Structure 1
Amino acid sequence: MGKTGRVVSLGLCGVALAATLAAAPAPAGAAAGRADASGAGAPGADASGAGPSGAAWRLKPTGTEVRFRGLAAVSRSSAWVAGSKGTVLLTSDGGRSWRNVSPPGAGDLEFRDVEAFDGRRAVVLAIGEGEASRILRTDDGGQSWTESFRNTDPRAFYDCVTFLDRRHGLAVSDPVDGKYRVLSTGDGGRSWKVLPDTGMPPALPGEAGFAASGQCLVGAGPRDVWLATGGGATARVLHSADRGLTWTAAGSTIPAGDPARGVFALAFRDRAHGLAVGGDYRTGQPSPLAGALSRDGGRTWRQAATPPPAYRSGVAWLPHSRTAALAVGPTGTDLTTDGGRTWRTVDTGSYDTVDCAADHGCWASGEKGRVARLER
């Protein structure tokens, strides 16, 4: 499954991949929901410049210029991407070719998240105020789509969707009446209901989620889910251990205090170990504290000793590794091999989001139709 809260276990292949990435030389040479609809950044390098034994992003031409902020890695051979102008693409041959499986009549929609169960079944989220926020599902590889949710509240703006298993999933909207609004499904996204907000703590003034990479709402295991926020005085991470019924909030070390700053993406490899990345998505603005880590399920967060050097909008644990992860953003890709304590840049290409499948299929996507797969 794509970003559906896989539990990552220790394996020699993942450790070897992390070691290869760590040894790869750096090359020679955005982002948020309502605040940024285009956010073009510098295209950067096409690959990391690593040698034959190194791992590097290899671009997989999509034949389009749309921005893909939604990504679901199914395997090394199969991945879904979703983006602007209602575009959804699917590959089943490792990115050598792409099928345009966009929903009919969706050209005005802005897809920001896709969650895939396999190469045939997937759910996409369109963002925007009022009826622009929608959820669609396909069961036949995108040959047909069914709209399963359309927001009718003009105050709501949905940012992200995640699945905990093949049946249970959640979607989150920016605050309505002072609290985040949460949708729930128990049938794989075929139907949705708004959960009561009695267990949701009040939002901070100016606080919201970022629809930058489909990773502002993530899960691990059958019941745990985390929500990333920004814009308020503190960039917080909210956690629910009961599929969205009750939540607790914890402050992160990533700066906020501005609509453009906060936590943009989360990744949990199990119920305890999490990573947070973010910063300030505006071009040229510094993001000196762009990474944080948690070892207690998000109850507390610690600043990375050596964080990513700039704003990052996506993050993913490498499969079968307890310590290695990738973070991506408009100015590059960073690698950690110590669980998020230290990061170093291994590529300068522009990507918005990253996702890895259990068979070591890691993909990244972003502006100008860019999609890449990690290859050695």
Structure 2
Amino acid sequence: MAWVAGSAGTVLRTVDGGRSWSSVGPADAAALQFRDIEAFDARHAVALTIGSGTDSRIYTTADGGRSWTRAFQNEDATAFYDCITFLDRRHGLALSDPVGGKFRILATRDGGRSWSVLPDAGMPAALDGEFAFAASGTCLVSAGGKAFFATGGGAAARVFSSRDFGRSWQVTGTPVPSGPSAGIYSLAFRDPWHGLAAGGDYLTPESAPAGAAITRDGRTWTTAAVPPGEYRSGVAWSGPRSAITVGPTGSDYSPDGGVTWRRFDTGSFDAVACVRHACWASGQDGRVARLAGTR
């Protein structure tokens, strides 16, 4: 079973390992861009559309996409939601770019059926120009009850973390270069301590000499010894020590927890997710690929 979401209101679903796909997107989302979909099983999923104002929405389905409920629609013209994550079946978070100088967090306690904006008292101030990248739906992730989100755009690419379902956050800098179109585009954590960061600058996709970083304590980040070297928009753990990262110029594999990366494919993909050692990647024009046996 796999779900894929993208532009023009597209949501696709397969229940036979990718041999056939059904188009199951919400009828009223045809003009919107999906950037994140979180599926619990073949029937239950929560999907996020991005954009300013009312273009940022969250939809839920409990019947495999045959029907959808609009669970949230943003009404703040200054908010722009980028990513969602679920810490467990009931508790989920959504991330907006800064509003009033701080990143905004939306929370659900009922599996996505209802959402509310959390107070920002526990959120550190954003840097000038800082924002999150909605490239692959993995700028906000979670593991072991802890949530993380990554940024760019400002003077530093940073990672924020929360242990209390998004009510308070700590922030740390990373060595990944940041700029108006550069920073961390994707995070992946296999537990609350071991994390991967991937990014670069999408305007110069063939050059990102420090575009990947790792953490082993969930707080401090170091540059990968051998990074992919090019812009990457998605990263995922494919096993206890192995990982996959993807981008418009190719895909890379790491056998050692993100310390070193090597190219294994030159196709263009934007996002990647791995479950039970099977990895799925998606890209432009409805491209979907499956890579099996990545231990």
Range class of TM-score, shorter chain: over 0.9
Contact between 2:33 and 2:49, CA under 8 Å: does it hold in 1? Answer: yes
CA distance in 2, matches of 1:230, 1:163: 23
Q: Which runs of 5+ in 2 are unaligned?
A: none
Q: Deviations over 1:187-236 (max 9, x none)?
A: 000000100000000000000000000000000012x0001000000000
Residue of structure 1 equivalent to 2:199: 278
Q: Matches of 2:222 and 2:229 in 1, distance apart?
A: 17
Matched, 1:185 2:105: no
* 1:1-376 matched pairs, under 5 angstroms: 78-222=1-145, 224-256=146-178, 258-283=179-204, 286-297=207-218, 299-319=219-239, 321=240, 323-357=241-275, 359-375=276-292
* SS of aligned partner of 1:368: helix
- SS of the counterpart of 1:114? strand
Identity %: 62
- 1:38 counterpart residue number: none
- Assess if the C-alpha contact under 8 Å between 2:51 and 2:80 holds in 1: yes
1:329-368 alpha-carbon deviations (Å, 9 max, x no partner):
01111111111111111111111111011x3221110111
Is this contact kept in 1: 2:102–2:120, CA < 8 A? yes
Q: Which runs of 4+ in 1 moved over 6 A?
A: none
Distance 1:285 1:365 in 2: 19
In our comparison, the structure showing a higher alpha carbon Rg is 1
Ranges in structure 1 where 5+ consecutive residues have no aligned partner = 1-77
How far off is 1:375 after superposition? 3.3
Give the letter aligned to residue 242 of structure 1: D
TM-score calculated relative to the size of structure 2: 0.98
CA-to-partner distance for each residue in 1:120-170, whole Å, 9 max, x for gaps? 000000000000000000000000000000000000000000001110000
CA offsets 1:298-346 (integer angstroms, 9 cap, x no match): x110011101120001011013x2x110011011111111111111111
CA distance in structure 1 between the partners assigned to 2:27 and 2:125 by the alignment = 38
Partner letter of residue 316 of structure 1?
A
**Cα distance in 2 for residues equivalent to 1:110 and 1:347:** 27
Specify the code of the residue in structure 2 equivalent to 1:246: S
Q: What TM-score comes out, normalization by structure 1 length?
A: 0.77
Q: 2-side partners of 1:98 and 1:316: how far apart?
A: 23
Which residue identity is paired with 2:42? Answer: G
Instruction: Measure the CA separation in 2 of the matches of 1:231 and 1:283.
Output: 15
Match for residue 6 of structure 1?
A: none
In the alignment, the residues of structure 2 paired with residue 290 and residue 215 of structure 1 have an alpha-carbon distance, to the nearest angstrom, of 16
CA distance in 1, matches of 2:12, 2:82: 20
- Number of aligned residues: 293
1:58 aligns with none
Check the 8 A contact 2:205/2:248 in 1, yes or no.
no
Q: Name the CA distance, whole Å, in 2 between partners of 1:153 and 1:253.
A: 33
Displacement after TM superposition at 1:285 (Å): 5.6
Distance 2:255 2:23 in 1: 36
Q: Output the CA distance in 2 between the equivalents of 1:118 and 1:103.
A: 18
**3-state secondary structure, aligned to 1:266:** strand
Paired AA for residue 271 in structure 1: P
Q: CA separation in 2, counterparts of 1:195 and 1:211? A: 20
Shift of the alpha carbon at 1:82?
A: 0.4
Q: CA deviation at 1:105?
A: 2.1
